[in-house]
Chains A and B, each alone.
Chain A
Amino acid sequence: MSMRIAVSEPVAVGPRSGSAGRRGRVARRWRYANSAGIAVLYAVMLVWTLTPLYNIVMIALEHEGDVYGNNILPVQPSLDSFWVVFTQGYWYLEHFWHQFGNTVFIAGMVTFLVLLIASMTSFTVGRMRLRNGWLITNAALLTYVIPASFLAIPFYLIMNRYGLANNPWSVIAALVTFATPYAIFIFQEYGRSIPIELDESARIDGASPLHIYLRIYLPLMAPALVAVGTYALLLAWNEYLYQFLLLSDKRNMTVPVALAQFLNSDQAPWNYMMATAIIYALPPLATYYAFRHRMSSGLTMGGVKG
C-alpha cells in the first residue's frame, strides 16, 4: 500500500490565508461546536447502549420478575435475586458455581487451543513460508462456507462417533473449529508487520524453528495473541447452540445452557435469569478491560500497515 499518495493528497488543499486572529476565533468556535456535538453524540449513545441493559437490570431487581407492567422504574427494587444466584438458592441454579466452573474450563481451553493451533499454523505458513501453505489458510476459511448453526447436526453425529458425547471436550472441539480460522486470519495479517529478517538472522545463528517460534514469534505477536484470545474467550463464553446439543447433564452443563432452563416453563422467575446473566457477563468484561490496552494494536490487519 502506498503511503505517499495517501499523505500527499491533503497537500493540494493549498496555502492557508487570512489573519491569525480570525483563524483563532473560528477555531475556538469550531471547538465549542465540536464538543457540544460530541456531548450530544455521547448522550445518544448512552441511551442507545444502556436502555436494553437497564431493562435487564430492572427485571433482575424486581421482586416478581414480571417482565410486563406499566412502570419504567422497578417496583420495590431488591437485590434478592443476586443473592439467590450467589447462594444457588433456586433449583435451576443449584449447580451454578459448578456450571460456572465448567464454562471457565471450556472457555480457558478454547482460548488456549485457538491461540496455540492458530499461531503454529500461521508461523508455518507466514514465517517458515511452507510451500503451498496458503492452501491451509484458504481451507480454514472454507469453514465459514456453511454457517456454524447448520453444522450442528453433523457435529452432534461425529462427536458421538468420536466417543465424545456429553463431554466438555466435544464443545471445546467445536468452538476451536469455528474460532481458529478467524485467529489464523488475524495472525497472518498481523505477522506481516514483523520483519522476516528477524527470523532469518536467528536462523543463520542456528536457531531451530521451535526456538524462533517461542523466542521471537510469540513475544512479538503478543498484542495479536491477546486480542484473539479475548475474541475466543467471548465466543466460548456466550455460545449456546453447540453447548446445548452436546452437553446433557446438569453437572457438565455450562451457564448459557443452564439459562435455557428458564425457557423450560411458561412462567419462570425471570429476575433470577437476568441476575444470572449480569453476574455471568462480568468476567468477560473484566478480561476486556484488563487487556484493552494491549488489544489496541492486536486486532489490526495487514491493510493498515504501510
Chain B
Amino acid sequence: MTAATVLDVGSPSSTRRRSFWRYWRGNLKGSEFAWALAFSVPYIAVFVAFVAYPVFYGLWMGSDPALYSDVFSDVIYQDTVVNTLVFVALGVNLKLFLALLLSGVFMRPGWWTKVMLMLFVLPWAVPQLPAFISLHWMLNGEWGLLNNALWILGGIEGPSWLNERWTALGAAIASHIWKWTPFWTVILLAGRMSIPQDIYDAAKVDGATGLNRFLFVTFPLLANLYLVLTLLATIFLLGDFNTVFFVTGGGPNNETHLLATLGIRNAFDLARPDLGVAVVMTALPVLIPLVIILMRKLRTAEVQL
C-alpha cells in the first residue's frame, strides 16, 4: 500500500515505472501483489537455477552443426528413428488405451476387483533396475523363465525373443507397458471416479448402458484428459532409457536403440557427450510442438471453464 502511495508522487520516470508495475499487478492490491510475488519466487528460483541453466548448457553442447552430419550419416541412428517412432506409437497408445479400458474395469464393485487393482499396481512400485534386468533374463531364448514355462507347460519351443530386431523391440514395448500402465490407469481411474454419479444415473434413465454409456457419456468427459495424458506420456516416453537399456541393451547388433539410449551410448560409451546431446536434439522438432500444444491445452481449458 505504502509503496503505491509513494509511487504516486510522480516524476515521468516513476510514472513509467508505475504503469509497469500496474501492468504486472493487474487487479491485485499492493500487499496482495507482494504476496503473489513471494509465492511465485520459489518456483521461479528453481526454474532459473535448475532448468534454464542446464537447458541452455545442453543446447550449447549440441550446437555445432557438424555434429548433425555425423548423427544423420550413422546407420544406427536411422534404425533408431524408426524404432523410436514405433515405440512411441505403440507404447503410448497401447498403454493409454489399456489404461482407459482397465480403469473402467476397476470401477466395478466387488472385493475381487479391489484385490486385482492392488496386484495390478505392483509393477509401478518395483524399482526399475532390477525389474528390467529380470525381464531381460526372463526373455532369454534358451534358459529364460518364459520359454522354460512354455516348454514345461505346453511342450512349445519358444523363440529367442531378444534375438531379432522386431521381437526384441516388441519385448521392450511390452516391458514398458507392463511397468507403466498401472500409473496411467490410476490417473484415468481417478478421472472416472470424479465423474458425478448423477450423470450416470441420468444416462441410465435415458437407457445408456454398456458400450453406449462409454461412448456417449464417459469418453466425451474423459477425452480432454485422455488427450493431455497422451501428450504427457509421449514426452515422458521419449526420455525413457531404462526400458531398452536393460531389456534389450539396444541389441541385437544395435538394432533396437531409441533416441534416448543411443544418446546415452554416444555420450558415455563413445565418450562423446556432444554427440549424445545432438542425437536427442533431433527429437526437438517433435517435442517442441508437443509442449506447445500442451501449453495451449492448458490455457484454452482455462478459458472454457
Contact = CB atoms under 8 A, between A and B. Distances in A.
Interface of A: 1, 3, 5-7, 9-11, 13, 16, 38, 41-42, 45-46, 48-56, 58-59, 67-72, 116-118, 120-121, 123-125, 128-134, 136-151, 153-155, 157-158, 162, 173-174, 176-177, 180, 182, 184-185, 188-189, 192, 208-210, 213, 227, 234, 237-238, 240, 255-256, 259-260, 273-274, 276-278, 280-281, 284-285, 288-289, 292, 295-306
Given A142-B291, A280-B127, A1 B222 contact: no
Given A10-B206, A189-B301, A303-B223, A154 B61 contact: yes
Interface stretch (B3-11, B65-73, B89-97, B191-199): B191-199
Interface in B228-281: 228, 232, 235-236, 238-239, 241-242, 260, 263-264, 267, 273, 276-277, 280
B119 A300 contact: no
A279 B298 CA distance: 39
A229 B61 CA distance: 34
A68 B55 contact: no
Given A1-B305, A45-B120, A303-B301, A128 B35 contact: yes
B159 interface: no
B27 to A, nearest CB: 8
Contact of A145 (B129, B131, B287): B287
Given A49-B178, A128-B28, A145-B291, A304 B228 contact: no
B46 A240 contact: no
Nearest to B34: A209
Contacts of B208: 9-10, 13
Given A131-B25, A289-B118, A303-B223, A70 B134 contact: no
Interface in B73-98: none
Contact of B121 (A124, A132, A288): A288
8 contacts: A1-B224, A52-B135, A148-B239, A173-B46, A295-B186, A297-B193, A302-B224, A303-B227
A304 B191 contact: yes
B140 A68 contact: yes
B35 A209 contact: yes
Nearest to A143: B51
A276 B187 CA distance: 28
Contact of B277 (A150, A209, A255): A150
A151 B55 contact: yes
Main secondary structure of the interface of B (DSSP, over half): helix
A54 B131 CA distance: 11
B156 interface: no
A142 B55 contact: yes
B50 interface: yes
Given A124-B40, A137-B298, A149 B264 contact: yes
A120 B220 CA distance: 32
A52 to B, nearest CB: 5
Given A72-B149, A123-B39, A147-B260, A288 B203 contact: no
Given A10-B217, A120-B43, A49 B122 contact: yes
B50 A173 contact: yes
Contact of B298 (A144, A153, A155, A188): A188
B220 A38 contact: no
A10 B130 contact: no
Contacts of B61: 153-154
Nearest to A10: B208
B277 to A, nearest CB: 6
A49 B206 contact: no
B178 A48 contact: yes
B166 interface: no
Contacts of B207: 10, 13, 16
B24 A132 contact: yes
A210 B50 CA distance: 27
Contacts of B125: 234, 281, 284-285, 288
A222 to B, nearest CB: 14
Nearest to A15: B207
Nearest to B296: A138
A41 B40 contact: no
B145 A154 contact: no
B57 A158 contact: yes
B105 A49 contact: no
B239 A7 contact: no
Interface in B7-45: 23-28, 31-33, 35-36, 39-40, 42-44
B143 A70 contact: yes
A277 to B, nearest CB: 4
A10 B213 contact: yes
B116 A45 contact: yes
B58 A146 contact: yes
A50 B119 contact: yes
A123 B187 CA distance: 22
Contacts of B53: 154, 158
